[in-house]
């Protein structure tokens, strides 16, 4: 696959939805680091616990999520690219109508406007679309209709991916990113949905130990369940690359490409705090035990095939940076 990459220097405004959230606010910071400040940020800004995520970054306009679609229709000719990272991401939410409204229909509206005005669009899909991973974690478009998400959130992301692929008219460049287990700064507001690194750090501060789920399958030892943990700084680097070079429209995995155990992650957190591991195992709650994933690992060959060759943080280096430069100091990216 020979792809000629043409770098794009942004001259007009970039739209960033979900800009007050975890990944969105880190993307805002990344754009600022790249000297891009003409940014329209979109979110539900009534949630005051997210203010610190974006208040130290530079942007040109702030628009409430409910007002954005009408604004976009009127001002699309000024927009150079859209990062659509805003979504209802709560995997414990089971009201399908909420997901249809916020994740499906809202994203379709943005897609249609981007298509009409020839605006590149990069959007957040999710590794939750893979369900139990019975078909592997390969971002092959020929396999996508075989996927069986386990919850309404994953289903909403999967249904949009299928819808996007079925469209005859598309934006000039588009990419959907299946985020795996993202961790890093600016997730203070996420509560129970925050990463295991965040929860481990706080457990160590308060109890000097970390509780991990016991294994309920013989082939896995306690704490050896594995996930593809990916540092948010790597995530925003990939997002920036795609919009800058617009290599090939498709749906891509975005993980580290290497599964690591929860034990490794907890140990790395202790180590970053200058402590030895002290881990206690507890049963997986009955209500999620049959839906619990024991292994996820992103196949990253497709992203590499379009020219992305930047090295990802190792789990140890990512956790160290997050703990020592952000969590301990209570700092934001």
Give catalytic residues, as residue numbers. 153, 190
3-state secondary structure of 150: coil
Residues 6+ apart with CB under 8 A from 172: 118, 119, 120, 246
- Which two structure tokens, joined as six digits, stand for 304? 């590499």
Residue 27 burial (CB < 10 Å; 0-12/13-18/19+)?
Answer: buried
Q: Which residue shows structure tokens 């009409």? A: 116
Any idea which residue has 């019975």 for tokens? 134
Indicate if the alpha-carbon torsion angle 56, 311, 327, 202 is positive or negative.
Answer: positive
Question: Based on C-alpha coordinates, what's the Rg of the chain?
Answer: 19
What is the distance between the alpha carbons of residues 174 and 252, in angstroms, rounded to a whole number? 11
- How many residues are there in the chain? 333
């Amino acid at each position: 696959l020979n792809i000629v990459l043409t770098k794009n220097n942004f001259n007009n405004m970039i739209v960033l939805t979900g800009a007050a959230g975890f990944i969105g606010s880190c993307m805002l910071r990344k754009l600022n680091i790249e000297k891009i400040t003409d940014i329209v940020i979109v979110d539900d800004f009534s949630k005051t616990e997210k203010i610190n995520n974006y208040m130290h970054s530079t942007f040109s306009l702030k628009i409430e999520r409910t007002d954005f679609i009408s604004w976009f229709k009127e001002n699309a000719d000024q927009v150079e690219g859209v990062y659509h990272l805003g979504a209802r991401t709560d995997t414990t939410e089971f009201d399908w109508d909420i997901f249809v409204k916020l994740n499906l229909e809202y994203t379709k509206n943005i897609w249609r406007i981007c298509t009409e005005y020839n605006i590149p669009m990069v959007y957040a899909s999710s590794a939750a679309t893979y369900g139990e991973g019975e078909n592997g974690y390969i971002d092959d478009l020929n396999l996508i209709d075989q996927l069986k998400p386990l919850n309404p959130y994953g289903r909403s992301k999967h249904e949009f991916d299928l819808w996007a692929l079925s469209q005859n008219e598309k934006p000039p460049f588009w990419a959907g990113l299946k985020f795996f287990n993202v961790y890093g700064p600016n997730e203070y507001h996420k509560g129970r949905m925050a990463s295991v690194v965040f929860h481990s750090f706080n457990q160590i501060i308060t109890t000097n130990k970390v509780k991990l789920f016991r294994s309920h399958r013989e082939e896995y030892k306690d704490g050896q369940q594995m996930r593809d943990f990916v540092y948010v700084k790597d995530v925003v680097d990939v997002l920036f690359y795609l919009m800058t070079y617009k290599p090939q429209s498709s749906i891509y995995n975005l993980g580290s490409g290497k599964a690591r155990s929860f034990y490794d992650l907890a140990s790395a957190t202790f180590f970053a705090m200058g402590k030895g591991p002290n881990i206690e195992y507890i049963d997986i709650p009955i209500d999620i035990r049959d839906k619990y994933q024991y292994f996820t690992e992103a196949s990253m060959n497709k992203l590499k095939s379009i020219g992305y060759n930047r090295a990802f943080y190792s789990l140890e280096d990512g956790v160290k940076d997050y703990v020592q430069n952000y969590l301990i100091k209570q700092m934001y990216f």
